[in-house]
Amino acid sequence: MGNERIRIAVLDDYQNVAKDCADWSLLSGRADIDFYSDHIAGESDLVARLKPYDVICAMRERTPFNQAILSKLDRLRLLVTTAMRNAAIDMEAARSLGVTVCGTDAIHSGTPELIWAHVLALSRQIVTEANAVMEGRWQESLGVDLHGKTLGIIGLGRVGSRVARIGAAFGMRVLAWSPNLTRARAREGMAEYRDKEALLASSDFIVLSLQLGDSTRGIIGARDFSSMKRNAYFINTSRAGLVDEDALVDALEARKIAGAGLDVFETEPLPGNHPLRACSNVLLTPHIGYVTRNTYQLFYQHTVENILAWLSGEPVRIIN
């Protein structure tokens, strides 16, 4: 890029922490950097903001970059996403427009930990009881023991296998299923293989831990919620598209299941009038599975490294 000074936009910095999570001064004299903590959902407003930038730094899939948006960003030459997978970026469109897309390494412990935060909070009614104490009340619910209960994991990959090990440590019986899971792989992951229907029917806690793709979109629907125990809890921290959201709302409102813990939603940030906000038996968190200090420091450190490499004509962490 020579000595040309560039403009960089860092998007969706909700907590205003990006500036402190990496040494952006390494780009001093070579770039002007703007950090944005707000989220722009409208396409025309987003394009208007991003048109002046040569480099855009995206936080996971918070902002989509489809063909329509990318084609209007005439100056854009480098798009850096945190982690090495981002379904919100049209990779083919980026390549055709000459936009380099690269990513960062990631830490994978945050999501399993959040899953267990949801399981524990739901089983012991932590939010309800904590609010009751603050409001002057005392002991309003009866908790559910984890020991001896059945944990069903749909997707025994990197996250699911960690969840399984912790479930076993709690003394839970661990079942697992996914479209490609084998009995041998389930045993390696400290779980018993069950088909989908059997897992749903016998599990007290059901954790969804799959990647979203054409074959998994809507893999949990109305029929599946009807197959679950009425005292079962459903946890999804993976992707909202794995679940029929209307069917989930119906299951919660009709008490077809005891409750749910959700960290992902079809529209993010979650609209103020969304029906999930009115459900009393759901724990909602704002897509924070990966939102930890160590993860952000790695994300932004590698983001800076990618930009420096690109400016110097050196290899970056290309996403295929």
Contact indicator for 115, 165 with CB cutoff of 8 Å: no
Q: Provide the pLDDT confidence category of residue 86 given band limits of 50, 70 and 90.
A: very high
Q: At residue 290, what is the residue type?
A: Y
- Cα separation, 318 vs 104, in Å, equals 9
**318 domain residue, yes or no:** no
Judgement on whether residues 87 and 114 belong to the same structural domain of the protein? no
Judgement on whether residues 254 and 114 belong to the same structural domain of the protein? yes
Judgement on whether residues 135 and 203 belong to the same structural domain of the protein? yes
The per-residue pLDDT of the chain, averaged, comes to 96
Instruction: State percent of the chain over pLDDT 70.
Output: 99
Judgement on whether residues 255 and 125 belong to the same structural domain of the protein? yes
Judgement on whether residues 150 and 37 belong to the same structural domain of the protein? no
**88 domain residue, yes or no:** yes
Judgement on whether residues 158 and 65 belong to the same structural domain of the protein? no
**320 domain residue, yes or no:** no
- Cα separation, 189 vs 294, in Å, equals 26
Arithmetic mean of pLDDT, 221-238: 98
Contact indicator for 139, 129 with CB cutoff of 8 Å: yes
Q: Which helix (H) or strand (E) holds 233?
A: strand 233-236
Segment 132-175, tens digit of pLDDT: 999 999 999 999 999 999 999 999 999 999 999 999 999 999 99
- CB neighbours of residue 140 within 10 Å: 11
Judgement on whether residues 139 and 206 belong to the same structural domain of the protein? yes
Judgement on whether residues 152 and 250 belong to the same structural domain of the protein? yes
**319 domain residue, yes or no:** no
What is the per-residue pLDDT for 314? Answer: 93
Arithmetic mean of pLDDT, 172-196: 97
**229 domain residue, yes or no:** yes
HEC readout, 40-89:
CCCHHHHHHHHCCCCEEEECCCCCCECHHHHCCCCCCCEEEECCCCCCCE
Judgement on whether residues 207 and 161 belong to the same structural domain of the protein? yes
Tell me the CATH number at 219: 3.40.50.720
Is pLDDT at 194 greater than 90 in this prediction?
yes
**85 domain residue, yes or no:** yes
- CB neighbours of residue 23 within 10 Å: 12
CB under 8 A, 24+ apart: contacts of 212-221: 212/87, 212/238, 212/239, 212/241, 212/242, 215/179, 216/179, 216/242, 217/241, 217/242, 218/242, 218/243, 218/244, 219/154, 219/179, 219/243, 220/154, 220/244, 220/247, 220/248, 221/247
What is the per-residue pLDDT for 45? Answer: 98
Segment 89-125, tens digit of pLDDT: 999 999 999 999 999 999 999 999 999 999 999 999 9
Q: Provide the pLDDT confidence category of residue 318 given band limits of 50, 70 and 90.
A: confident
- Which of the residues 192, 245, 253, 268 is marked catalytic? 268
- Cα separation, 230 vs 305, in Å, equals 50
Q: Is 302 a catalytic residue?
A: no
Arithmetic mean of pLDDT, 32-51: 97
- Which of the residues 60, 118, 194, 239 is marked catalytic? 239
Arithmetic mean of pLDDT, 198-210: 98
What is the per-residue pLDDT for 317? Answer: 86
What is the per-residue pLDDT for 179? Answer: 96
Is pLDDT at 2 greater than 90 in this prediction?
no
Q: Which helix (H) or strand (E) holds 213?
A: none
Q: Is 239 a catalytic residue?
A: yes
- Cα separation, 119 vs 126, in Å, equals 10
- Which of the residues 162, 287, 302, 305 is marked catalytic? 287
Token couple for 290: 């990966």
Judgement on whether residues 243 and 117 belong to the same structural domain of the protein? yes
Q: Is 317 a catalytic residue?
A: no
Segment 164-175, tens digit of pLDDT: 999 999 999 999
Judgement on whether residues 144 and 53 belong to the same structural domain of the protein? no
If phi > 0 it is left, if psi is from -120 to 50 it is alpha, else beta; for residue 296 that is: alpha
What is the per-residue pLDDT for 4? Answer: 76
- Cα separation, 136 vs 228, in Å, equals 36
User: Total structural domains in the chain?
Assistant: 2
**317 domain residue, yes or no:** no
Judgement on whether residues 84 and 118 belong to the same structural domain of the protein? no
Range of the domain at 88: 6-107+292-311
**250 domain residue, yes or no:** yes
